Amino acid sequence: MTTATITAGRSMHDVEGVQVSILRGGSGTPLLFLHGSDAFGDWQPFMEALALKHDVIVPDHPGFGRSDTPAWLDTIGDLAHFYRSLIETLGLHDVVLAGHGLGGWIACELALRNPHDLRALVLVDSAGLPLIVDGVDTFMCSPDEIRTASYVDVARAPDLDDVLRGQQAKNALMTARVAWRPRFYDPQLAKWLHRLQLPTLVVWGAGDAIFPPAQAEVFAAAIPGARTLLIPNTGHLPHVEAPQAFAAGVGAFIDGVRS
Amino acid sequence: MKFIAFHLMPYADLDLSYSEKYDSAWVTLPNSYYDPVKGHALYNRYLDELEFADGLGFDGIGVNEHHQNAYGLMPTPGVIAGALARRTKGSLAVLGRALPLVNNPLVIAEEFSMIDNITGGRLIAGFVRGIGAEYHSWNMNPAFSHERFGEAHDLIVRAWTETGPFHWRGKHYDFRYVNTWPRPYQQPHPPIWIPSQGSRETIVWAAAAERKYTYLQTYSPVVAVKRFLDLYREEAQKAGYTATPEQLGWMAPVFIGETDASARAEAQPHIEAFANKFLRMKTEMVRPPGYLSLASAKAVTEAKAGRGTVQTVDALIESGQFICGSAATVRDQLAAYERTLGFGNFLALLQFGTLPHDATMRNIERFAKDVIPQLRSPLAPAAIGAAR
């Protein structure tokens, strides 16, 4: 989808020998958005809103969506190393690194390993730390049940075409591979998140049934100086359910980092 | 054909109305449904049933491993095999231990070696991946199931066959000193059988020329049994050899009555409880993501079509999942299946669901006296599971 001001498109790139599919549009400071357990189909309204000020880059993770599945992919740490390589391969500098769910976990691991070329971190309903309140067990859910649990109002979910439906089993398999045990967290991460020195925004859907919103405070407490943005009337994907509020909150945070 | 009396040891006293409140008899059914006083009686009843079968001329008896459910009360099958070891004479088949679930596969090498030593080489060693639900119950990552199965198998066989100590360096396991005591009684190691629901990767692996393991298709419609046994034979041909019937087996519940009609009527509540209450699981519970490869998931989904929906005794008999009738009917049907499916091992599940003790004992006796003698091959190899 394109508008008069923003041209966005999807293309394949070779990174670390993996053919990775990337949605990209807009101009400005690069904003690398790492998706959660499902890759996106089309360019989304929240990407469009962010692209007014950013070069928005949204890859399908290796093993997810349209990207290839490399034999080496076992852990979130593997993806963190991969995305360091992607940042270098694409020649990105001064990057706003955003991640949702699994993607937030990858972003934390990446930033702890090497924050070079990163300007700020945005974590959205992020995995990575042990849940203090159990949510819906998505591994016990059908794709339709996960979809229902993911939104306060499932009518706001993007359309599910045959291509995306066909990717569900692939995405679920790779999500299990990297996040089954321990369940969506790394015990090492909690020990070292205090070393993170990037300006960080923790965004959470106030009605998240999968990673209940009490978890926002866990991240905020673990990361020095982190700010929290709770978006009302949204679930596990606040960026999809309230794209304008999400983009406005992220925009204000980035502006604050700049000043 | 060789015959093994197989037992799941279900919690037959399960309050079947559980399904009004809970989705499944697995993973999430509260263990307050289990009464240890009844459990004590059940364990001893089931041991009696297996010892009875052993004494009536079955080639062996079989047990297996399940966790955190009412479907099978043998989380540690070695305990049951140990209880059976001294009072039985035939093969003792543990079908099998779930290799990927354990963090140290050497405990299985040790346990199996102990049974093999105590029985003087009557052990048949079954290796399985475990039911998908057990990956929820034990929180083991299903996406590494195949990798862990393969590596654990390699480690156990090496521990059985190579003089220790040696250092095992793998992706999932690392042991500085592998030096299994006791060594297995059978040399080079006990026969290895691979029960499966029909995972393509498992069949291809079992049929490989360097293994030639006996493959068992578990409880499935006949059309699926044929497809998976054919796949094994095709893989054997590709590997340059012809699979023998001794390399193939099938497990199915069986009930024999006076007549076809009376057998069906007597078995109905118990087999329907087995299919609809004890095996009640949603897809995501029985096949969590990653448990099957993307290709295998499609094949197994087709094979298990109907599971999860209410099944009647008539439908189960029609599909061949349940063999039921007079002794003559069961005998004829098994003989026909042997011809069309080409298996040389049949595992008869003679207690299922809520089937009570007296009916189970009659069932075992009828199978042993009225079915086995007529179907036993006069030219059968001396040792069951000759493939090593």
Residues of A in contact with B284 (CB under 8 A): 139-142
Which tens digit of pLDDT belongs to each residue from A102-159? 999 999 999 999 999 999 999 999 999 999 999 999 999 999 999 999 999 999 999 9
Q: Per the structure block, which two tokens stand in for B38?
A: 């009844």
Residue B60's identity, in one-letter code, is G
User: Under a CB-based contact definition with an 8 Å cutoff, are residues B168 and B155 in contact?
Assistant: yes
Residue ranges of chain B with per-residue pLDDT less than 50 = 379-388
Which tens digit of pLDDT belongs to each residue from B94-133? 999 999 999 999 999 999 999 999 999 999 999 999 999 9
Best mutation target among A64, A75, A148, A180 (most B Cβ atoms within 10 Å) is A180
pLDDT at A216 exceeding the cut of 60: yes
Partner-chain contact B284 A183, CB within 8 Å:
no
Nearest alpha carbon to residue B137 among B172, B101, B173, B105: B101
Q: Which of B141, B284, B285 sits opposite A177 (nearest CB)?
A: B141
Count of CB pairs separated by less than 8 Å, A with B: 46
Residues of A in contact with B289 (CB under 8 A): 139, 169, 172-173, 175-176
Which tens digit of pLDDT belongs to each residue from A53-101? 999 999 999 999 999 999 999 999 999 999 999 999 999 999 999 999 9
Residue A121's beta-bridge partner residues?
A97, A200
Instruction: Measure Cα distances from A142 to A145, A149, A221 in Å.
Output: 5, 10, 33
User: Under a CB-based contact definition with an 8 Å cutoff, are residues B244 and B341 in contact?
Assistant: no
So what's the pLDDT on residue B298? 67
For B23, nearest residue in chain A (alpha carbons): A140
Partner-chain contact A139 B294, CB within 8 Å:
no
In this prediction the pTM is 0.94
Q: Tell me, what DSSP letter sits at residue A92?
A: -
Q: Per the structure block, which two tokens stand in for B319?
A: 């599909």
Nearest alpha carbon to residue B108 among B171, B31, B184: B184
Q: Per the structure block, which two tokens stand in for B190?
A: 């006990």
User: Under a CB-based contact definition with an 8 Å cutoff, are residues B61 and B6 in contact?
Assistant: yes
User: Under a CB-based contact definition with an 8 Å cutoff, are residues B199 and B170 in contact?
Assistant: no
- Alpha carbon distance B263, B363 (integer Å): 10
Residues of B in contact with A139 (CB under 8 A): 136, 284, 288-289
Residues of A in contact with B287 (CB under 8 A): none
Residues of A in contact with B290 (CB under 8 A): 172-173, 176-177, 180
Backbone φ and ψ for A228, nearest 5 degrees, come out as -120, 140
Q: At what angle do helices B200-207 and B294-303 cross, to 10 degrees?
A: 100
Torsional class of B292: left (φ above 0), alpha (ψ -120 to 50), beta (otherwise): beta
Question: Confidence class of residue A1 from pLDDT cuts 50, 70 and 90?
Answer: very low
So what's the pLDDT on residue A244? 98
Tell me the nearest-neighbour CA distance from A180 into chain B, angstroms.
5
Q: Per the structure block, which two tokens stand in for A182?
A: 């321990």
- Alpha carbon distance A34, A239 (integer Å): 12
Sequence-separated (6 or more) residues with CB below 8 Å from residue B307: B275, B279, B281, B286
So what's the pLDDT on residue A40? 97
CA dihedral angle for residue B172, residue B178, residue B181, residue B187, rounded to 10 degrees:
80
- Asked, as a colleague might, if the bond just before A26 is cis with ω within 30 of 0, I would say no
User: Under a CB-based contact definition with an 8 Å cutoff, are residues B363 and B255 in contact?
Assistant: yes
So what's the pLDDT on residue B296? 78
β-strands A29-34, A95-100 pairing: parallel
User: Under a CB-based contact definition with an 8 Å cutoff, are residues A256 and A168 in contact?
Assistant: no
Q: Per the structure block, which two tokens stand in for A203?
A: 């965004």
- Alpha carbon distance B168, B381 (integer Å): 36
So what's the pLDDT on residue B294? 85
User: Under a CB-based contact definition with an 8 Å cutoff, are residues B60 and B383 in contact?
Assistant: no
> How many residues comprise chain B?
388
